[in-house]
């Protein structure tokens, strides 16, 4: 294992995420139950549903795609769930005119106890670049006594050194007030604990219904703008636990917040009403305004 220090003159890719990123993430609906067939079907559905045309770009595989490291330290994708490999999957996503995202963690293990990137940041960044990755969600589980800004800055430097422009999504749950420092490190940063598919609920370990997350965005608007966004977490639109009207209000509020719009439902099984929420042109126009005003 090799450890690296981050340098004061390093930088992120400044030309990315000039409006809030739009896409889809596997976690809210599928959790660990992901495989390459599901991901390909989701990519197909993003195109056929009209979501791509509406502005959605990223297909992001969250936790549980990785199972270990080889003797040289390279990350190993689950060979049963992703038998074709991540490069081939990324190529498929790109063939649809979409972009490919992946997940890792700043600690030694991910939240689901898969290998994290601590100590392997530069090696992992080169691997992601070779797979054609366009977006990295970087979590904050099993981090021990690590300093958040330093830990995320190491991966920022690693991504930049790898040479492929990759949107860097900082997922440290707002624990260290990232809005005060993360604009120099990543392109978006989580402001709260994890969202739940409910309007008004709280869970002891910090997971929240969307109305409570909305309340926590007060006074954060000054920190958002082109290339650096407050992230109140992914969308729970139409996931079990939300009514249709609650889903519609949830999407509306996220658009007004200039929040990243990362759908979290099963795109393969959407009715017209769900598609109408997620592709509402007027709301997306507010969200994607180039001035970036939250």
Tokens read off for 259: 């929040």
Which of 105, 139, 157, 231 is catalytic? The answer is 139
The helix-helix angle for 121-131 and 86-95 (nearest 10°) equals 50
Q: Is 63 a catalytic residue?
A: no
In order of 15, 100, 145, 182, 200, the CA distances from 149 in angstroms are 21, 25, 12, 7, 32
Task: For residue 160, count CB atoms less than 10 angstroms from its CB and return exposed for 0-12, middle for 13-18, buried for 19 or more.
Answer: middle
Q: Is 44 a catalytic residue?
A: no
Measured torsion, CA atoms of residues 258, 260, 261, 262, in degrees rounded to the nearest 10: -170
Which of 134, 157, 183, 194 is catalytic? The answer is 194
| Nearest CA-CA partner of 136 in 144, 128, 127, 147 | 128
231, 190 in Cβ contact below 8 A? Answer: yes
> What is the distance between the alpha carbons of residues 197 and 173, in angstroms, rounded to a whole number?
17
Q: Distance between alpha carbon 165 and the CA centroid of its chain, in Å?
A: 15
Rg (CA), the chain: 18
Q: Distance between alpha carbon 139 and the CA centroid of its chain, in Å?
A: 9
Q: Which residues are known to be catalytic? A: 139, 194
């Amino acid at each position: 294992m090799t450890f690296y220090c981050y340098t004061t003159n390093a930088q992120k890719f400044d030309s990315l995420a000039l409006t809030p990123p739009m896409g889809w993430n596997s976690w809210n609906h599928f959790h660990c139950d992901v495989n390459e067939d599901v991901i390909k079907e989701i990519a197909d559905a993003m195109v056929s549903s009209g979501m791509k045309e509406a502005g959605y770009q990223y297909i992001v595989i969250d936790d549980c795609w990785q199972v270990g490291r080889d003797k040289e330290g390279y990350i190993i994708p689950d060979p049963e769930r992703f038998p074709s490999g991540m490069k081939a999957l990324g190529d498929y996503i790109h063939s649809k005119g979409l972009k490919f995202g992946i997940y890792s963690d700043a600690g030694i293990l991910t939240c689901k106890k898969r290998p994290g990137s601590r100590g392997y940041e530069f090696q992992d960044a080169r691997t992601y670049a070779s797979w054609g990755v366009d977006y990295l969600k970087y979590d904050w589980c099993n981090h021990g006594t690590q300093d958040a800004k330093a830990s995320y800055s190491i991966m920022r430097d690693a991504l930049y050194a790898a040479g492929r422009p990759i949107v860097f999504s900082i997922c440290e749950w707002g624990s260290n007030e990232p809005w005060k420092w993360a604009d120099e490190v990543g392109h978006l940063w989580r402001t709260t604990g994890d969202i739940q598919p409910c309007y008004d609920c709280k869970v002891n370990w910090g997971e929240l219904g969307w109305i409570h997350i909305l309340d926590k965005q007060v006074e954060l608007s000054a920190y958002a703008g082109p290339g650096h966004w407050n992230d109140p977490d992914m969308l729970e639109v139409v996931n079990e636990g939300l009514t249709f009207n609650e889903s519609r209000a949830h999407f509306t509020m996220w658009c007004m917040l200039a929040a990243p719009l990362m759908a979290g439902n099963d795109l393969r099984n959407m009715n017209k009403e769900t598609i109408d929420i997620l592709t509402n042109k007027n709301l997306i126009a507010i969200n994607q305004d180039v001035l970036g005003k939250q």
